[in-house]
């Protein structure tokens, strides 16, 4: 085995004390393999009993005992060296000093997993295991309503024609008694993503009602023509299937004029139950002015999405109501605990169309 010259110097000095001859076991970091780091060219040798000159002096270690004669002297020195080496290893790597020789300590990779797990405990939120689905724990059990939220991005030059077409066809679907669905609201985005239409439908009866409506609309010639004409006006579209939070009131028609705010939250996976628990208490702070319209969470589409729908007389009223909530004891604490659950959020200010039940 080849040692570097620095270690070889101390190896040779041990010839004068046969009882102190250290037994070196060449152990490479990582089970005898070279590390794939910046120090990969260095072969780290770990002596089972290091020489004294290589160790950092421990200021708290007891003074060396007086020398003894013969073999007792050598055994005592070996015990002192071993004790000091263990103390130095627990104190961390030593730095060279001007008074003597010292070996630069190498950081142990064994401590890195512990450090990583400690850092993760600060920044990674632990999620408690749940015994039931979100839909069973958060949705209203007395009703089986399913909601569909549609976002249509319209070509700017076709927005007026799109609105006119929707106002002709959508009320017919809403008023058809054989269709178990209802138009909750329809809007144009005023502030947020421009040239966008938003529609909210309710299917009374859940997924079976949704399937029934879809099958009937495929056979409705007026609706199929509407879809073809509408498709020429759109840039893109998407939808989501939602359930309603049990602690929100069901959206009901209201008189206008109002503006509506749709606040959409992308939550961290696994935090939906926690969000619902906090907002079940927070909603009482936001009902004094009848601004709460509905609260929903996604089931199909973009998952872990929450949508809160609010109504205000105008933007200044919105500002006043939201500022007043901060003066109520407990609101700030609930906001403090819900903010870490959010990955992304978006606010839309929307204007209802003339046919919208929510005015």
Q: Please compute the mean of the pLDDT values over residues 139-153 and round it to a whole number.
A: 81
Bridge partners (DSSP) of residue 186 are 199
What pLDDT sits at residue 147?
96
Let me know: does 58 contact 85? Beta carbons within 8 Å.
Answer: no
Let me know: does 243 contact 304? Beta carbons within 8 Å.
Answer: no
Higher pLDDT, 317 or 72: 317
Q: Is the peptide bond before 257 cis (omega within 30 degrees of 0)?
A: yes
Indicate whether 27 and 115 sit together in one domain: yes
| CA nearest neighbour of 20 among 100, 103, 79, 87 | 79
Residue 222 domain-assigned? yes
pLDDT one-digit tens code per residue, 172-201:
999 988 999 999 999 999 999 999 999 999
Indicate whether 171 and 201 sit together in one domain: yes
The answer to which of 59-73, 78-92, 246-260 has the lowest mean pLDDT is: 59-73
**For the chain, percent of residues with pLDDT exceeding 90:** 51
What pLDDT sits at residue 93?
46
Higher pLDDT, 248 or 144: 248
Domain limit, last residue, from 119, 149, 184: 119
Domain limit, last residue, from 119, 150, 185: 119
Q: Is a pLDDT exceeding 60 seen at residue 2?
A: no
pLDDT one-digit tens code per residue, 282-315:
888 888 888 999 999 999 999 999 999 999 999 9
Q: What b/e sequence results for 13-44 when a residue is b if at least 16 CB atoms lie within 10 Å of its CB, and e otherwise?
A: eeeeeeebeeebeeeebeeeeeeeeeeeeebe
pLDDT one-digit tens code per residue, 255-290:
989 999 999 999 999 999 999 999 998 888 888 888
What pLDDT sits at residue 127?
44
| Interatomic CA distance for residues 149 and 200, integer angstroms | 5
Let me know: does 1 contact 8? Beta carbons within 8 Å.
Answer: no
Most confident of 49-53, 73-77, 139-143, 231-235: 231-235
Q: What does DSSP assign to residue 216? A: H
Please give the radius of gyration of the chain, using alpha carbons only, rounded to the nearest integer: 36
**pLDDT tier, 123 (very low <50, low <70, confident <90, very high otherwise):** very low
Q: What does DSSP assign to residue 45? A: -
| Interatomic CA distance for residues 254 and 344, integer angstroms | 30
Let me know: does 28 contact 44? Beta carbons within 8 Å.
Answer: yes
Q: Is a pLDDT exceeding 80 seen at residue 50?
A: no
What pLDDT sits at residue 246?
87
Q: How many domains does the chain have?
A: 2
Indicate whether 192 and 106 sit together in one domain: no
Q: Quick one: residue 75, left, alpha or beta (phi over 0 = left, psi -120 to 50 = alpha)?
A: alpha
Q: Quick one: residue 270, left, alpha or beta (phi over 0 = left, psi -120 to 50 = alpha)?
A: left
Most confident of 13-22, 112-121, 125-134, 245-254: 245-254
Indicate whether 214 and 268 sit together in one domain: yes
Residue 124 domain-assigned? no
Indicate whether 115 and 166 sit together in one domain: no
Domain membership of residue 30 as a residue range: 5-35+42-119
Let me know: does 134 contact 121? Beta carbons within 8 Å.
Answer: no
| CA nearest neighbour of 86 among 53, 113, 48, 29 | 48
Average pLDDT taken over every residue of the chain: 75
């Amino acid at each position: 085995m080849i040692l570097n010259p620095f270690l070889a110097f101390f190896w040779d000095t041990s010839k004068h004390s046969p009882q102190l001859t250290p037994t070196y076991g060449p152990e490479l970091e990582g089970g005898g393999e070279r590390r794939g780091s910046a120090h990969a060219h260095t072969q780290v040798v770990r002596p089972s009993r290091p020489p004294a000159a290589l160790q950092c002096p421990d200021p708290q270690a007891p003074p060396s005992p007086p020398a003894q004669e013969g073999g007792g002297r050598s055994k005592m020195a070996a015990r002192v060296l071993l004790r000091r080496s263990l103390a130095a290893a627990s104190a961390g790597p030593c730095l060279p000093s001007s008074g003597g020789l010292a070996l630069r300590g190498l950081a142990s990779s064994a401590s890195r997993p512990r450090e990583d797990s400690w850092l993760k405990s600060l920044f990674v939120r632990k999620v408690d295991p749940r015994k039931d689905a979100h839909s069973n724990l958060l949705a209203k059990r007395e009703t089986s309503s399913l909601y569909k939220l549609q976002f249509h991005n319209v070509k700017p030059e076709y927005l007026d024609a799109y609105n006119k077409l929707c106002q002709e066809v959508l009320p017919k679907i809403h008023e058809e008694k054989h269709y178990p669905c209802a138009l909750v609201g329809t809007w144009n985005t005023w502030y947020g993503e421009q040239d966008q239409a938003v529609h909210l439908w309710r299917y009374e009866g859940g997924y079976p009602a949704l399937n029934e409506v879809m099958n009937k609309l495929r056979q409705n010639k007026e609706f199929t023509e509407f879809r073809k004409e509408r498709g020429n006006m759109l840039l893109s579209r998407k939808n989501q299937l939602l359930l309603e939070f049990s602690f929100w009131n069901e959206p009901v028609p209201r008189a206008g004029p109002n503006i509506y705010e749709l606040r959409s939250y992308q939550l961290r996976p696994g935090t939906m139950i926690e969000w619902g628990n906090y907002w079940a208490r927070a909603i009482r702070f936001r009902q004094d002015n009848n601004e709460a319209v509905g609260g929903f969470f996604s089931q199909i589409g973009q998952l872990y999405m929450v949508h809160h729908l609010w109504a205000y007389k105008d933007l200044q009223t919105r500002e006043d109501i939201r500022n007043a909530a901060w003066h109520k004891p407990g609101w700030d604490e609930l906001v403090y605990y819900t903010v870490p659950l959010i990955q992304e959020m978006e606010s839309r200010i929307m204007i209802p169309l003339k046919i919208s039940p929510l005015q």
